[in-house]
Structure 1
């Protein structure tokens, strides 16, 4: 899966959680053990959401606004928060 996003008008209705739940089921059925996700360090709602559904932030090499990030993950200046979830 490259991207999961929900139009702001439809958030807080369980749509993203349902999409991720289905993805976790498919991953388990295919013997996958770890799921990774990324988001921008300024996207506080995404960080909160991923934590709520059981992702943990993987320690990076820097910190932005109290959140561990991987610098240049998306190229020069593209720091990202990396999440891991064991399924």
Structure 2
């Protein structure tokens, strides 16, 4: 990172264009691809034998819920249930 900054500060990217590009590519390359592997392992847990008959859309939603479980844990479950019941209520108020 320091070398890339030094090349930029001294305006040497036109003198060493390939070095500049290679350094930027190296800096942007992640060390691992944990998030992709974590997503696939979550999908494997979600798609078990009993759920293999569900639709692709529902499977995608379950996988997203499994992957983003930190957001899911912060939700107020009572509010979600009440909101779902309010929207899906089949009773008419007279």
With structure 1 as the length reference, what TM-score do the two structures score? 0.25
Q: Which has the higher strand share?
A: 1
Which structure has the larger Rg over C-alpha atoms? 2
Q: Which has the higher helix share?
A: 2
With structure 2 as the length reference, what TM-score do the two structures score? 0.23
Compare relative contact order (CA 8 Å, sep 6+) and give the higher one, 1 or 2. Answer: 1
